[in-house]
Structure 1
Amino acid sequence: MDVDNRIRLRGVRVHNLKDIDLDLPRGRLIVICGLSGSGKSSLAMDTLYAEGQRRYLESFSTYARQHLQQLERPEAESISGLPPAIAVTGTKASRSNRATVGTATETLDYLRLLFAKVGTIVCPGCGRTIRRDTPQSVAQLLSTFPAGLRAMIGFRVAFAGTDDWTTKQAKWLEAGFIRGLVGQHMRSFPVSPEDPSLPNSGDCIVVVDRIKTGSSDATRLRDSLETAFRFGEGRTVLLIEAAESASSACTWEPRRIDDRDWFFREFSESLDCPSCDKSFLAPEPRLFNFNSPWGACPRCEGFGNVIDTDMDLIVPDPRKTIREGAIAPWNSRSYRKELDFLLKNAKKLKIRVDVPFADLSQEEIDRLRYGVPEAKFAGIEGFFASLDKRKYRMHIRVFLSRWRSYRECDACGGLRLRPEALAVRVGNLNLSEVCRLSIDETLSYVKDLDLSAWDREVAAVMLEQVEARLDYLQRVGLGYLTLDRSLRTLSGGELRRVALASALGSSLVNVLYVLDEPSVGLHPADIDRLLEAGPW
């Protein structure tokens, strides 16, 4: 055996090991087997992994090492030829709903980078693609129209009252702007505040320049657009003559000005939609992280579900009347007074108490649930809200838990992310929709992405890492799982293979992988897949 291609252990005395001398070939799959207590884990975990990890950490600075777990030096005469080590153990799955297949395999980390780098923001209201407009991009768009069309470049300004109009009009004239669009008519400045055609409040599109497509000087066009963006505080307006040559190609908003048809569109240097008046956040990795306050849905805080009062638990038998005790929480001796108040004031509250609960109208149920403030009746929700103020007491918390259950978040629909993150798409899907695909479908989605040459170059590393991890999960027989599947719902065999995917799917080289009982909980067919999928 080549001395340079082996791990040499001499005089190992860890736990049950008594002066063990051993040579292990590198780059091979080695199985350590034996009776319980024979020292298998002592050799694999407490010697090979512990020493390999310890030596690797010693290469870090003293400041960095103080934040890392320090492993004890195994008792041995000498250990040589040992590369950095990674261990995959049979630790229990996290009980948190935040731990998913995607987070455990680190696939989500690379998908977040992918969406942050090459994602496209699509307004959920109108379906318009949102991007930062610049004078250069607007000029480029203008060059796509047929030559000879009349066009106007301007900016929108809102005014409120005649005094505001007078002040702003003076500024426009001072800057050299002499005309503007008020309502459906082009007006020359100055326009008297007493003019009956001038509305008391509204907005005016101040015209910066009038040009013809295809024939305007490039420098003049760029200067006009820069001026419009500057005076419009990051926004500019473009009006194009609605000639027959442009009608078939233009999807802008139609406008009628002085009995002539025009196409209208507003551009913005910010990530917002002028049509829907919505603003969007710049895509960055933390925006797509439901474990971060920046990216999590504000309603459910990234869990995808919320805990709320469950009327099916509060009224377990809707065939009963309220007088017969249909409202279960109020049947206890401690809270009977709530039911007595309801029975005493039933007529004033307009709630029938002698008919089955199932026969009550929706209006009566709403009164019962949300209360009647003018009658000083807090209702079921008010009753639980008052108990919430005393939930520092154990018996109150136990009582409240009996009448509550989890339901899907109505703000994000269980997708966990805030609306601005869900508006970012790659290949017509947002990140949460990708995570709801099976791993087989996600791998096909990643491989079939239609990206530009530039976007593909930017996303090359992210795509490579995502494909490597998904491909490993597929090869070990987990192609049916989804990336948003919670780890606590997985079987022991599934959990073990997911843990292996995080380590073995990372494409590291010259590394010692120490797998602690990797076949526990696996079907024989899964063991064969595991052997075929490994790097050995």
Structure 2
Amino acid sequence: MAQTIDITGARVHNLKRVDVQVPIGKMVAVAGVSGSGKSSLALGVLYAEGSRRYLEGLSTYTRRRIAQSGEAKLDAIEHVPPALALHQRPSVPGIRSTFGTMSELLNSLRLMTSRLGNYTCPNGHMLDPTPNVALERPVICPVCGAEVQALGAEDLAFNSGGACPTCSGTGIVRTVDDSTLIADPNLTIEQGAVAPWRSLMWSVMVDVCREMGVRTDVPYKDLTDREKEIVLHGPAEKRHIMYHLKKQNRAGEMDFTYFSAARTVLNALDKAKDAKGLKRVEPFIKESPCPDCHGTRLNERARTLPVHGKTLPEQCAMQLDELAQWVQTVPSAMPADMREMAQAIVGEFTRTARRLLELGLGYLTLDRAGSTLSTGERQRIQLARAVRSELTGAMYVLDEPSIGLHPANVDGLLGVMRDLKAQGNTVIVVDHDTRVLRATDWIIEMGPGAGAHGGTVIAQGTVGDVERSPHSLIAPFLASEHSQIVRPQTPADAVFSEGAIEIKTVPLHTVHALDARVPKHRLTVVTGVSGSGKTTLVLESLVPALAAKIADERMPEHVRALDAPGIERVTMIDATPIGANVRSTVATYSGVLDDLRRLYARTEAAKARGLKAGAFSYNTGSLRCPTCDGTGQITLDVQFLPDVDIDCPDCHGTRYSDEAGEITWAPKGGHAPVSLPDLLAMTVDEAREVFAGTSQRRLRAKLDTLHELGIGYMTLGESTPALSGGEAQRLKLASEMGRAQEGTLFVFDEPTIGLHPLDVRTLIGVFQKLIDQGASVLVIEHDLDMIANADWIIDLGPGGGQNGGEIVATGTPAQIAENPLSLTGRYLKLCVE
């Protein structure tokens, strides 16, 4: 049997004909700085080929219904196992998904409630659990002899037989929000006062409304109550109208049914078949818990059947750590003839729950909507499910599984990875966490730089081999657990010398009343395990309260006091993707393209053609490629094979027509003339070389900022939706650099996501620049290097959910490291000693 996966000539993205052997049946880490080619090797080669070759063994009928990866660009790959990938950004679950359904724990609870529940007969007598339910025999009341209709597990599912008929198992009902129906009461109906008629209905509805007896030529606010009621909720009656369509210059008469403003919205909601349709209706809709099931999603029988004193909704409302303890008490509460079955069901539940608890998800409730889970939480659920499948001989590719994990939860992650390996699988992990890297059997380090400066294997071997490699960049971090202090930290007695932001809250969710102080002109890091209250304190309390105070609006109700002298702006920079499609690029988002368009519009070639700056836009300009409409690619439908996105055959991916390539600009210093398409194909660092020494100071400053943020390897024409979370944050930050920041609070949510330890150093340097420019910086973070470089730490906990929600410690890194109450401090102590 082959011992290695043999890759020859891999050239996906920036890989430079990489030849590498990957051990089979081992835990293999792929490391390297951002943009060095880690994901290209792990996902673009190993996963792409492993999944593609497996799917090729299926029928064409089946393959048509499965999303597939394209063939990787390489010379050869041998002995690759079937592959599964756990991506950094799992897809966002639909409205019917919950933590319970995604983890499959709900299956065990439904089975337990169905088989072990205390049924009630038609005459109100409660029955003891009986084997007859599982045996599908009649269940007879021992008191009155009445037969009881038992429920199967499917009858307790809100996605099928157990669904509440009122909300169809979603737990929410959508109703029209009357307060949104009138756009402006000072307008007349003819001027567009009725908002839904402007976006969801034909313009003739104004004429029908007039025939209903409503004056359409006076301001809505001056209408009588009767007229307003007709506008909002009038009956669906037919009226004969004369109409005139101005745009089509056409008139006529017809019978038309009246659609009130509310009915217009409900009609559009009923016809909405996709997200685009729902988005049009959303402004006029409010969601509220279902009045019948109260958000439980279940019908009356399904939500009222108890087992060991708790109904299914009550079980699902418990935190997983509490639920796991309660489930253990169920078998002993059963009759003797039911205990074996109870133990089997509980055993299945416990096996699944154990991994989720080890991965730090014990604070979640099973009824938590899947759409509200973070990407890190969704990825950990995927990981726990992968171990539970007990698959053998596969290759699992994990894309930064340590994202969002407190150091205390990394041990649980490593346990899951070891289990996957023990089951006979190959585990490929792309990560920067040195604890994860040290736990692997083999490391492949990509580099040495990013983009065109990366794409080669600079070191490989065991952890010891890589530590001794003179070419390795990760070696110093593997060899030492100590964090590097790379910025001047403020002494403890001077942390608050520049003032403070102080916030006081009342209890919210599982978070207790808080009283927190954030020093101004300092780097403050908020720490704590998942679910400890970091998001509630910072993103749900401090940020909206500051924004409201600055705008002189009402603060959130749970914020009882806020003192923020001198804070005039709060800027939230998170890891959400930038843009919705390929039209958003690094050049457009950073503003570089605007400067380039103006530059090229001033060239003699452009003036001779009468071209203005707008002509150089690949989105709307006259120079955009007519074949791909400026996207640079076209999609081919090849039936049972996956859809293939290829470079546009006419513009070859440049997004521009041939004419754009004829208009060049000649930089100084002997550099050859370049066209705009040429520049967009360059990396940021390559473009910096082109503009070095030129008079384009504004453009140079933007490129320099991108370089300083550690994203100089990005191509200017690279689509922003494809960027990693860390790259997206740094690109957003670029627009803030270089300006006076006095009175600004910057808030970052885990900015080290996806960053190599060297990149973390760069980011810390950027934060120091913001502070030097007068800003205050507040960071939610798990990375110990970032935490060790803070001026002040606010540590929440001690646990997650009901076991957290308190500020357990505040202080400098040295003070937190010595605080016995701080879980973060235990790990920080290893770094700052």
Partner of 1:535: 418
Whether the 8 Å CA contact 2:181–2:261 is kept in 1: the answer is: no
Structure 1 residue 438, shift from structure 2 partner: 0.4
TM-fit CA distance, 1:126: 3.3
Give CA deviations for 1:461-505 in whole Å, capped at 9, x if unaligned: 643342222111211222111112123222333333233222234
AA aligned to 2:323 is T
Please report how far the alpha carbon of residue 457 of structure 1 lies from its aligned counterpart in structure 2 after TM superposition. Answer: 4.2
- Alpha carbons 2:5, 2:23 under 8 Å: kept: yes
Are 2:314 and 1:447 equivalent residues in the alignment? no
Does residue 267 (structure 1) correspond to residue 108 (structure 2)? The answer is no
- Compared with structure 1, are the counterparts of its residues 47 and 474 closer, same or farther at alpha carbon in structure 2 (3 Å cutoff)? same
129-138 or 520-529, which moves further after superposition?
A: 129-138
What amino acid is the match of 1:21? V
Q: Specify whether residues 302 and 14 from structure 1 end up closer, same or farther in structure 2 by C-alpha distance, changes over 3 A only.
A: farther
Whether the aligned pair in 1 keeps the contact of 2:89 and 2:375 (CA below 8 Å) is no
Which residue in the other structure is 1:47 paired with? 45
Return closer, same or farther for 1:393/1:8 CA change in 2, 3 Å cut-off: closer
CA contact (8 A) 1:113 1:285 kept: yes
Aligned to 1:488: 371
> 1:84 Cα deviation (Å)?
3.8
How many equivalent pairs are there? 369
Tell me the equivalent position of 2:6. Answer: 9
The equivalent position to 2:297 in structure 1, one of 395, 403, 416, is 416
Find the residue that maps to 2:17 and give its secondary structure. coil
Work out whether 1:284 is the aligned partner of 2:167. no
* Aligned partner of residue 360 in structure 2, secondary structure: coil
User: Per-residue deviation at 1:443?
Assistant: 1.0
* Structure 1: unaligned runs, 5 residues or longer: 142-251, 253-264, 272-281, 317-327, 354-364, 374-380
**1:137-536 matches, cutoff 5 A:** 265-268=144-147, 271=149, 282-292=150-160, 294-310=161-177, 384-385=262-263, 388-389=266-267, 402=283, 404-450=285-331, 451-452=334-335, 455-458=338-341, 462-535=345-418
Structure 2 residues not aligned, in runs of 5+: 184-192, 199-205, 237-258, 420-833
What is the root-mean-square deviation in Å for CA atoms of aligned residues? 5.1
1:32 CA drift (Å):
0.5
CA distance in 1, matches of 2:56, 2:293: 46
* 2:17 matched residue in structure 1: 18
Confirm or deny: 8 A CA contact 1:469 1:506 kept in the other structure. Answer: no
Measure how far apart 1:516 and its partner are.
Answer: 1.0
SS of the aligned residue for 1:32 comes to strand
Aligned identity (percent) is 31
Q: Residue type matched to 2:387 in 1?
A: L
TM-score (norm 2): 0.37
Q: Distance in 1 between matches of 2:368 and 2:122?
A: 26
Q: Kindly provide the amino acid, as one letter, of the partner of residue 298 in structure 1.
A: P
Output the CA distance in 2 between the equivalents of 1:91 and 1:512. Answer: 19
Distance 1:98 1:11, change over 3 A: same
* CA-to-aligned-CA distance 1:336-368 (integer Å, 9 cap, x gap): 96699999987xx9xxx9xxxxxxxxxxx9xx9
Amino acid at match of 1:35: V
Q: 1:415 to 1:137 in 2, by over 3 A?
A: closer
Q: Structure 1's 123 and 440: CA in aligned 2 closer, same or farther, altered over 3 A?
A: farther
Write the deviation string for residues 135-190 of structure 1: whole angstroms up to 9, x where unpaired: 9987x95xxxxxxxxxxxxxxxxxxxxxxxxxxxxxxxxxxxxxxxxxxxxxxxxx
CA distance in 2, matches of 1:523, 1:465: 27
Residues 398, 104 of structure 1: CA spacing in aligned structure 2 closer, same or farther, 3 A cutoff? closer
Q: Secondary structure of the residue that 1:30 maps to in structure 2?
A: strand
Q: CA deviation at 1:405?
A: 1.4
Q: For residues 40-81 of structure 1, what are the alpha-carbon distances to aligned partners after superposition, in whole Å with 9 as ceiling and x for unaligned?
A: 22332233333443454456566655544444555453422x
Question: CA 1:50–1:93 in structure 2 vs 1: closer, same or farther (change >3 Å)?
Answer: closer
Work out the CA distance in 1 between the residues paired with 2:88 and 2:4.
25
Quote the residue 1:77 is aligned against. Answer: 76
- Measure how far apart 1:458 and its partner are: 4.2
Matched to 2:84, the amino acid is I
Q: Which shows bigger deviation, 40-49 or 382-391?
A: 382-391
CA 1:516–1:446 in structure 2 vs 1: closer, same or farther (change >3 Å)? same
Q: Is the 8 A contact 2:22 2:28 kept in 1?
A: no
State the alpha-carbon separation in 2 of the partners of residues 448 and 470 from structure 1: 15
Going from structure 1 to structure 2, the CA distance change for 1:127 and 1:71 (only over 3 Å counts) comes to farther
What amino acid is aligned across from residue 30 of structure 1 in structure 2? V
CA displacement 1:283-327 (0-9 Å, x = unmatched): 2333222223x33211011111111245777899xxxxxxxxxxx
> Do the aligned partners of residues 430 and 55 (structure 1) sit closer, same or farther apart at CA in structure 2, a change above 3 Å counting?
farther
3-state SS, counterpart of residue 86 of structure 1: strand
Conserved? CA contact 2:96–2:159, under 8 Å = yes
2-structure distance, mates of 1:287, 1:490: 27
Letter in 1 for 2:319: S
Structure 1 390/65 Cα, relative in aligned 2: closer, same or farther at 3 Å?
A: closer
d(CA) in 2 for partners of 1:391 and 1:507?
A: 43
Distance 1:440 1:60 in 2: 41
* SS in structure 2 of the partner of residue 470 of structure 1: helix
Cα–Cα, structure 1 residues 509 and 370, in superposed 2: closer, same or farther, change >3 Å?
A: same
- Determine the structure 2 residue equivalent to 1:128: 126
Query: For residues 338 and 101 of structure 1, do their structure 2 counterparts lie closer, same or farther at Cα, with a shift above 3 Å needed?
Result: farther
1:178 match: none
- Aligned-partner residue type, residue 479 of structure 1: G
Give the secondary structure class of the aligned counterpart of 1:467. helix
What amino acid sits opposite 1:79 in the alignment?
A: E
Cα displacement (A) at 1:515: 0.2
Distance 1:77 1:387 in 2: 57
Amino acid at match of 2:359: V
Q: Give the whole-Å Cα distance in 2 for the aligned partners of 1:124 and 1:382.
A: 46
Distance 2:116 2:380 in 1: 31
- For 2:10, the aligned partner's letter is R
* 1:433 counterpart letter in structure 2: E
Contact residue 93 and residue 488 of structure 1 kept, 8 A: no
Give the aligned residue type for 2:316.
Answer: C
Are the aligned partners of 2:171 and 2:297 in contact in 1 as well (CA < 8 Å)? Answer: yes
Q: 1:369 to 1:507 in 2, by over 3 A?
A: same
Matched AA of 1:89: H
CA contact (8 A) 2:112 2:342 kept: yes
- Displacement after TM superposition at 1:31 (Å): 1.2
Contact 2:383 2:416 in 1 (8 A): no
C-alpha spacing 1:464/1:135, structure 2 compared with 1 (3 Å):
closer
Alpha-carbon separation, structure 1, partners of 2:34 and 2:103: 31
Contact 1:119 1:283 in 2 (8 A): no
Deviations 1:70-124 (A, max 9, x none): 44555453422x5443211023442632222122222223433444444443469
Task: Look at both structures and tell me which one has the larger radius of gyration over its CA atoms.
Answer: 1
Distance 1:58 1:313, change over 3 A: closer
Contact map agreement 2:194 2:261 (CA 8 A) in 1: no
Question: How many angstroms apart in 1 are the aligned matches of 2:376 and 2:124?
Answer: 46
Contact 1:122 1:425 (8 Å CA) reproduced: no
Shift in CA distance, 60/449, structure 1 to aligned 2, threshold 3 Å: farther
Answer whether contact 1:465 1:506 (CA < 8 A) is retained: no
In structure 1, what is the Cα distance between the partners aligned to 2:375 and 2:137? Answer: 58
Match 2:28 to one of 27, 30, 37: 30
How far apart, CA to CA, are the structure 1 residues paired with 2:355 and 2:11? 34
